[in-house]
């Protein structure tokens, strides 16, 4: 793999082989490394489960879900980098510049808002709002698709996580009571 730096008068272009280093590729590479490091050091990131009379209170180990998600994130990032290196567009305009970073900053702000609203609003409300805003940021302008994504995705994920993986997600009491009445549990 060959690394080259050139200047075209408008800024520096970093080339890795035939591939131009763009902000998207840099973010994907950093995410891949962070996901891998998180899987390796998961013991320091996830607290051990509480033990009552020699038994764990949870049905599954608490680090299983993060390991699954982080491993999939690392594999997706690696797959994208591999695909991009094989399908490099040599005529691609631009190199590593600061255009497009405003959308990255907006996405970071949305994810920060999502994390901060998870506890007071609960999983379903904060997820629906965040999915709608992220869908809009990604360029989706079809209102019905945004509504469908926001109203179908979070309840489906909530039920899969709480019923199948036995993961506890923060939720408002009224919504938890409605689910328990609806599902008979």
Q: Where are the domains of the chain?
A: 1-46+55-90, 101-185
- Average pLDDT in the 127-147 region? 93
Cα–Cα distances (Å) from 96 to 4, 13, 80, 121, 138, in that order, read 13, 6, 18, 38, 21
Alpha-carbon span 131 to 141, nearest angstrom = 13
pLDDT above 80 (res 83): yes
Instruction: Say whether pLDDT at 113 is over 90.
Output: yes
- Locus of tokens 């900053």: 105
Is residue 38 within 8 Å of 45, Cβ to Cβ?
yes
CA distance to 9, 118, 128, 159, 160, per residue, from 155 (Å): 51, 14, 9, 6, 9
Beta-strand ranges (E) seen in the chain are 3-7, 12-16, 19-20, 51-52, 55-56
- The span from the CA of 65 to the CA of 165, in Å, is 8
Phi, psi of 168 (to 5 degrees): -85, 125
Q: Mean pLDDT across the chain, nearest whole number?
A: 80
- Residue 5 pLDDT grade (very low, low, confident, very high; cuts 50, 70, 90): low
């Amino acid at each position: 793999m060959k690394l080259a730096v050139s200047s075209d008068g408008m800024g520096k272009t970093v080339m890795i082989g035939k591939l131009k280093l763009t902000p998207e590729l840099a973010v994907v590479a950093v995410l891949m490394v962070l996901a891998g490091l998180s899987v390796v050091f998961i013991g320091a990131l996830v607290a051990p489960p509480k033990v009552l009379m020699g038994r764990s209170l949870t049905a599954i180990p608490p680090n299983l879900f993060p390991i699954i998600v982080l491993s999939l994130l690392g594999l997706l990032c690696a797959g994208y980098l591999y695909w991009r290196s094989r399908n490099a567009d040599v005529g691609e305009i631009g190199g590593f510049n600061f255009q497009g970073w405003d959308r990255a900053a907006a996405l970071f702000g949305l994810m920060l808002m999502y994390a901060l609203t998870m506890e007071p609003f609960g999983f379903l409300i904060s997820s629906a709002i965040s999915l709608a805003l992220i869908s809009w940021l990604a360029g989706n302008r079809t209102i019905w698709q945004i509504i469908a994504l926001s109203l179908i995705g979070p309840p489906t994920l909530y039920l899969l996580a709480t019923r199948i993986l036995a993961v506890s997600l923060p939720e408002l009491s009224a919504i938890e009571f409605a689910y328990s009445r609806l599902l008979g549990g």
